[in-house]
Structure 1
Amino acid sequence: MPLPDAVSSGIDTLLDRTVAPGFTKVGSAVRRRLPTWPADPAPGALVGRTGLVTGASSGLGTATAEGLARLGARVVLVVRDAGKGAATARELERAVPGAQVSVATCDGSDLDDVRRFAEQLDVDGVERVDVLVHNAGAMPPQRTESAQGHEQTMALHVLGPVLMTDLLSPRMTGGRVVLVTSGGMYGQRLRADDPEYLQGEYSPTTAYARSKRAQVELLPVLLRRWSNKRIRVDATHPGWADTPGLDSSLPAFRRLTRPFLRDAEDGADTTVWLAGADPEETGRLWHDRRPRPTHLLPTTRTGDVERELMWEWVIKQTALSPS
């Protein structure tokens, strides 16, 4: 006898609030067996559409690109290393017969390179973008600056994605933007007073989580900015997934939790699902195909004033029009 929906939803919520089981492969395995688990996208849901995935040469990015390709999308792998991107493209073409995969280079933390990339898409013949997944991420072990002198995680996770989306927005009418964030952001509040992390002793995990918190807090602002294009803007967090980035950034955590870590496909599932199922609900943080709260602690809650201050900083650094 199937569980009543109320019980199923209660189990789902309990997994989410207790974090550890919900973020692991145990959480997704349990949720997939619940009657409230949303249906998969229809086969061929993205045929005739184009998806761009940043950081697509490994881990979650490669899994996301493969998921979009399996739904029929033409996929552009946006990578820093053209050689790695070409190797990934060949792997995807073997894994998904008939897949349309191309490679474009861009350093998402370098705002000048983001501008070049957006212009180059015209040359590459990408007239429309239906799905834009900002997956590229990094956690430098010490404070590092981008080409324009911005703290690296904030440049790569916030400034670059905002600028790229804004430049591509004319060809994204009715499309969907997904920011791949992290559950680590639950432990940090928005720091509009110190976006460059110039105060206090630098911590790579804190910097990473702060930038991911900024992604989530800016969702309503970004949704409003691109509303005239009917662009949906969401964030997903993959839970605890076993990726090359985790191994290089948090090796001790990976050793302790490896038996419970999700694989890359599981971590990318909700991002692919959002693109293929294309739910009307937007402006939300999603995990395991459900909208999730953006705060688990009262100390991380953000007011409108602080959010607008962060947005003003983003506008200033990217030189975008404030309107």
Structure 2
Amino acid sequence: MTLRPVARALDTALDRAVVPGFSRIGYAVRRRLPTWPADPAVGSLAGRHVAVTGATSGLGVATARQLSELGAHVHLVVRNADKAVAVAADLPGPSTTWVCDLGDLDSVRDCARRIVADGLELHALVHNAGAMPPERTESPQGHELSMSLHVLGPVLLTDLLLPALTAHEGRVVLVTSGGMYAQKLPVDDPEYVSGEYSGATAYARSKRAQVELLPVLTTRWAADGVAVYAMHPGWASTPGVTESLPTFDKVVGPILRDADAGADTTTWLVATTPRARGGGLWMDRRERPTAYLGRNSPSSDERRRLWEWVASALDVTP
């Protein structure tokens, strides 16, 4: 017990130092500390249904496999059903594929309708789908694609799946990114209309939005017994990183985490008992600050303004 305060201090130091904390080094060290939470029990998700968006690549594949190994029936929510065939074949347990483009709000509504009509009782919904368009791209509804895919689509899908998520103390996990630490909440320009467009900046801005909406979403979904988390996977090696951030991948590649390490905390949040406290940003099975020294931390009014934009874009009651 006397080692636990020292272990927590070391964990925090790794986090603040960024490079060792976000890399495979931090994950390897933390797993050996006495503060590391226990793994979910074998078969802890037996008989449970869990949906994972973007489940055909990188963290999505790793998450689906880890959940399946714990006994879950995994629902692969994907844009391309053909790509899901190989993923499903490699899962040790049952799976179902649902075609849905999270960046297209009409597709989201159609997918949610089909899932609810099927009578599913979802234990958890993992929002892993992501992309980093190199040029400003709009969704079919005219929204900047990063914000539509990472914020609007996940909020709408969760809202519409609440009837299916309330049976087992539902859990919702938003897979975010450490890049959000470098960005302010884009309340004055959520659609990235002004200035020179950068795909990496747009991605990070949308991830900041995910994290800063946690208080609102926690309140919104709590009445239905649903807890929501943001999960930062650290710096993980995925096809998306290699394709979209080639320089970063080349420089930091030797210390990037593998996809299994990046997906670990998502799986833990979905499977751990009792359910972890919702509403926070998590990495390596511990809740983390959403900003350091107040840098880029928004005001409550800025959060409110962003939420009003989201509610207006989705035509839902704020």
Band the TM-score falls in, shorter-chain normalisation: over 0.9
Question: How far off its partner does 1:33 sit?
Answer: 0.7
Task: Find the partner of 2:258 among 260, 263, 267.
Answer: 263
Q: Which residue of 2 aligns with 1:221?
A: 216
Question: How far off its partner does 1:297 sit?
Answer: 4.7
Q: Which residue of 2 aligns with 1:12?
A: 11
Which consecutive unaligned segments of at least 5 residues does structure 1 have? none
Secondary structure, aligned partner of 1:320: coil
Mapped partners of 2:87, 2:276: distance in 1:
32
| Matching of residue 177 in structure 1 with residue 177 in structure 2 | no
8 A contact 2:52–2:125 mirrored in 1: yes
Amino acid at match of 1:231: V
Amino acid at match of 1:105: V
Over residues 224-268 of structure 1, what are the superposed CA-to-partner deviations in whole Å (9 max), with x where a residue is unaligned?
001111100000011110001001100111111111010000000
Q: Which residue of 1 aligns with 2:234?
A: 239
- After superposition, the Cα gap between the structure-2 partners of 1:195 and 1:297, relative to the gap in structure 1 and judged at 3 Å, is farther
| Matching of residue 284 in structure 1 with residue 280 in structure 2 | yes
Q: Percent identity?
A: 57
| Matching of residue 316 in structure 1 with residue 312 in structure 2 | yes
Mapped partners of 2:198, 2:293: distance in 1:
20
Q: Which residue of 1 aligns with 2:186?
A: 191
8 A contact 2:136–2:144 mirrored in 1: yes
Task: Find the partner of 1:116 among 110, 121, 134.
Answer: 110
Q: Which residue of 1 aligns with 2:47?
A: 48
Mapped partners of 1:111, 1:74: distance in 2:
26
Secondary structure, aligned partner of 2:241: helix
Which consecutive unaligned segments of at least 5 residues does structure 2 have? none
The total of aligned residue pairs comes to 315
Question: How far off its partner does 1:282 sit?
Answer: 1.0
Mapped partners of 2:103, 2:53: distance in 1:
11
Secondary structure, aligned partner of 2:223: helix
Mapped partners of 1:299, 1:6: distance in 2:
26
8 A contact 1:3–1:35 mirrored in 2: no
Mapped partners of 1:38, 1:206: distance in 2:
33
Moved over 4 A (4+): none
8 A contact 1:3–1:34 mirrored in 2: no
Question: How far off its partner does 1:122 sit?
Answer: 3.9
Cα RMSD after superposing both structures = 1.1
Structure 2-normalised TM-score?
0.97
8 A contact 1:60–1:264 mirrored in 2: yes
